[in-house]
C-alpha cells in the first residue's frame, strides 16, 4: 500500500476520533448539572498517523545475517496508530496504569543486495514483502512527587511487554523472528497548568542498558471541557532496540495524535 493511502487511512481514523470528541463534549454538557463523585479511574484514547525515520535489522547478529533497512521494503510513510491507557488513582499520590499500544506496517519493494535474514536468503531485485509488528503492553506505578497550582510532577516505573516480529516474504521463501520479552522502564510526567482549563504535559518512559534501550516520550496540549472529560493533541516519539548476539534491531517512530481522556 502506498504512503498516500496509508496517510489517507490515518486521517480518516483521526476524523472519526474528532467526531467522537464532539459527541463527548455534548454529553458532558448534558451531564454537567449532575452531582459528581471524585473520579478514581481514567481512560485515555489516542489515535493518529505514525511514521518511521529509522528501522534497521540484522538477524542473526553475526556473520550469518546481513543488516538492512526495513523501511526500504515496508515504506516510511504514515500508517494509522492508536493507544489506550487505563489508570486507577487510589488516593492523591498513588496510581497504576495499564497501556496497550499496537503498531504494524507492511509493504513490498526490492532489496538492493542479497540479504540473509533469519536463516533464509532473499535475493536482490526480487519483490519482497516486509511486515513489521511492535505491539506493547505496559503496567506501571506513579507517585505524585510535587503538586501546586501551576505544576504537577509524577515519577514511577513500569514493565513493558513487547510482542514484536519482523517478517520477510519473497515468493515461497518466508522468514520471521518473533520476539516476546519484558523490559523495565522509568517514568516521568510533568504537567504545567496554564489556565483553569488549559495545560501542557510531558510524559516520558525509558531506560538504557549496554544490550539496548527504549524511550517513549510525548508532549501534549490539553483542554478540559468538563471535570471528567479532557481532550489532547500532541507529538510522540518512540525510539529503541537491541544489540546482542541474537539480534540487531533499532527503530525510531514518530506520532501525531489526538486524544480523549474520560475520568469516572
Three-state SS letters, 41-99? EEEEEEEEEEEEEEEEEECCCCCCCCCEECHHHHCCCCEEEEEEEEEEECCCCEEEEEE
Helices marked H in the chain — which ranges?
A: 3-31, 71-74
Distance from C-alpha of 153 to C-alpha of 204, rounded to nearest angstrom: 12
Going from N- to C-terminal start, the domains of the chain cover 3-263
Percentage, residues of the chain above pLDDT 70 = 86
- Average pLDDT for the chain: 89
CA distance linking residue 99 with residue 85, whole number of Å: 5
CA distances from 98 to 135, 137, 149, 215 (A): 14, 7, 27, 17
Phi then psi dihedrals of residue 14, to 5 deg: -65, -40
pTM to 2 decimal places: 0.84
Question: Which of 3.40.640.10, 3.30.1490.20, 3.40.50.280, 2.40.128.90 would CATH assign to domain 3-263?
Answer: 2.40.128.90
Q: What is the mean pLDDT of residues 52-60?
A: 97
Sign of the torsion angle spanned by Cα atoms 54, 75, 51, 161 = negative
* Range in 34-48, 93-107, 162-176, 196-210 with the lowest mean pLDDT: 34-48
pLDDT tier at 211 (50, 70, 90 boundaries)? confident
CB 100 within 8 A of CB 83: yes
Taking Cα atoms as reference points, which of 82, 95, 120 lies closest to residue 260? 82
List the beta bridge partners of residue 130. 107, 168
On the question of pLDDT at 190 being above 50, the answer is yes
Asked if pLDDT for residue 157 goes beyond 70, the answer is yes
Structure confidence at residue 39 (pLDDT):
72
Q: Find the range with the poorest average confidence among 114-118, 176-180, 201-205, 253-257.
A: 176-180
Nearest to 134 by CA among 101, 167, 85, 86: 101
Reply yes or no on whether the pLDDT at 12 is more than 60: no
Q: How far apart are the first and last CA of the chain?
A: 40
Please answer whether residues 98 and 136 qualify as being in contact, where contact means their C-beta atoms are separated by less than 8 angstroms.
no
Q: Residue 37: pLDDT band by 50, 70, 90 thresholds? A: low
Q: Strand (E) positions, 148-197?
A: 151-170, 173-176, 179-193
Q: How far is residue 136's CA from residue 243's CA, in Å, rounded to a whole number?
A: 19
Burial class (CB in 10 A: 0-12, 13-18, 19+), 255: buried
pLDDT at 3: 43
pLDDT digits (tens, 9 = 90+) for 85-140: 999 999 989 999 999 999 999 999 999 999 999 999 999 999 999 999 999 999 99
Task: With a cut of 50, say whether residue 226 has pLDDT above it.
Answer: yes
Amino acid at each position: 500500500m502506498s504512503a498516500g493511502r496509508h496517510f489517507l487511512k490515518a486521517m480518516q481514523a483521526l476524523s472519526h476520533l474528532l467526531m467522537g470528541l464532539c459527541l463527548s463534549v455534548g454529553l458532558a454538557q448534558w451531564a454537567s448539572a449532575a452531582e459528581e463523585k471524585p473520579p478514581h479511574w481514567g481512560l485515555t484514547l489516542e489515535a493518529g498517523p505514525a511514521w518511521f525515520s529509522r528501522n534497521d535489522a540484522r538477524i542473526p547478529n553475526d556473520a550469518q545475517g546481513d543488516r538492512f533497512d526495513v523501511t526500504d521494503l515496508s515504506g516510511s510513510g504514515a500508517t494509522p496508530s492508536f493507544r489506550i491507557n487505563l489508570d486507577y488513582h487510589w488516593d492523591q499520590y498513588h496510581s497504576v496504569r495499564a497501556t496497550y499500544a499496537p503498531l504494524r506496517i507492511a509493504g513490498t519493494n526490492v532489496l538492493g543486495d542479497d540479504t540473509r535474514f533469519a536463516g533464509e536468503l532473499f535475493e536482490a531485485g526480487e519483490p519482497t514483502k516486509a511486515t513489521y509488528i511492535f505491539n506493547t503492553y505496559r503496567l506501571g506505578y506513579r507517585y505524585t512527587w510535587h503538586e501546586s497550582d501551576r505544576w504537577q510532577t509524577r515519577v514511577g516505573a513500569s514493565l513493558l511487554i513487547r510482542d514484536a516480529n519482523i517478517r520477510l516474504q519473497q515468493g515461497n521463501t518466508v522468514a520471521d523472528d518473533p520476539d516476546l520479552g519484558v523490559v523495565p522502564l522509568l517514568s516521568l510526567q510533568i504537567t504545567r497548568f496554564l489556565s483553569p482549563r488549559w495545560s501542557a504535559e510531558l510524559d516520558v518512559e525509558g531506560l538504557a542498558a549496554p544490550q539496548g534501550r527504549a524511550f517513549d516520550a510525548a508532549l501534549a496540549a490539553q483542554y478540559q471541557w468538563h471535570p471528567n472529560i479532557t481532550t489532547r493533541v500532541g507529538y510522540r516519539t518512540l525510539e529503541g532496540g537491541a544489540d546482542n548476539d541474537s539480534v540487531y534491531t533499532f527503530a525510531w517512530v514518530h506520532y501525531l495524535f489526538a486524544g480523549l481522556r474520560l475520568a469516572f
